[in-house]
Amino acid sequence: MATNQEEVKLLGAMGSAFVCRVQIALKLKGIEYKFVQENIANKSDLLLKYNPVYKKIPVFVHNEKPISESLVILEYIDDTWKQNPILPSEPYQRALARFWSKFIDEKVKMLSFKLWSSVHVVDDDKERAKNVAETFEALQFLENELKEKFFGGEEIGFVDIAAVFIAFWIPLIQDVTGLQLLTAEKFPKLYQWSQKFLNHPIVEQCLPPRDPVFSYFKAHYDSLFLSK
């Protein structure tokens, strides 16, 4: 637990997978914190002061010291509060956890964003098919990597937390766009993982409510069509 002397704040907004990562890590560690709601359309002076480089959420602030970038924040939380470690203690396993988390950010996230922006371009079937194929290839690597209940073994760890984007946000993209990405047929292990992960008692408490996030995504998707 954070002691009385400590001030722990998280600048975030509902519906961000990257903010959600930090929330899961803090909940796992039992760290109490103040959530500072940001409006992405009208960024606060505090956000601009604390993250002048990217001007993005999440920003984690511990005793007035700000940290940006969700994976960097997860490492900091694990370095600072030792209970319920999220990274393995063995160096090679740590390296693999870092590798796959980076892979999720660079491949899966990037491809999903590309899919999102290409899917409404109804006349560019080729680009869309290429993005879908690359997303499948990326998810297949993770499917092959899943050897136990969670990426972290019997308990959730760093890669599971990084992959909240896959468990919660990819199905949303799927439902809005009609694309079939993470299905039980195509990726049985990853799909099963996503169900166990989403129903994990700690994760469950940190996820945003599905309906408003779905409505937000749907409205954004429809606006892409309208703006064509």
Binding region for its own copies (CB under 8 A): 52-53, 62, 65, 67-69, 72-73, 75-76, 79-80, 91-92, 94-96, 98-99, 102-103, 141
- Residue 72's CB: how many other CB atoms inside 10 A? 11
Name residues whose C-beta falls within 8 Å of residue 135's C-beta, 6 or more positions apart in sequence.
Answer: 108, 111, 112, 115, 181
Nearer to its own copies among residue 3 and residue 92 (C-beta): 92
Q: Cβ 211 to its own copies, closest distance in Å?
A: 34
Q: Cβ 25 to its own copies, closest distance in Å?
A: 13
Place of tokens 């209940």: 149
Nearer to its own copies among residue 190 and residue 203 (C-beta): 190
Q: Cβ 96 to its own copies, closest distance in Å?
A: 8
Q: Cβ 126 to its own copies, closest distance in Å?
A: 23
For residue 182, give Cα distances in angstroms to 4, 170, 196, 217: 43, 7, 14, 18
Which is nearest to 179 in space by CA: 220, 143, 136, 142? Answer: 136
Which is nearest to 213 in space by CA: 180, 171, 150? Answer: 171
Nearer to its own copies among residue 102 and residue 210 (C-beta): 102
Nearer to its own copies among residue 80 and residue 180 (C-beta): 80
Nearer to its own copies among residue 87 and residue 206 (C-beta): 87
Q: Cβ 194 to its own copies, closest distance in Å?
A: 21
- The DSSP bridge pattern shows strands 34-37 and 59-62 to be unpaired
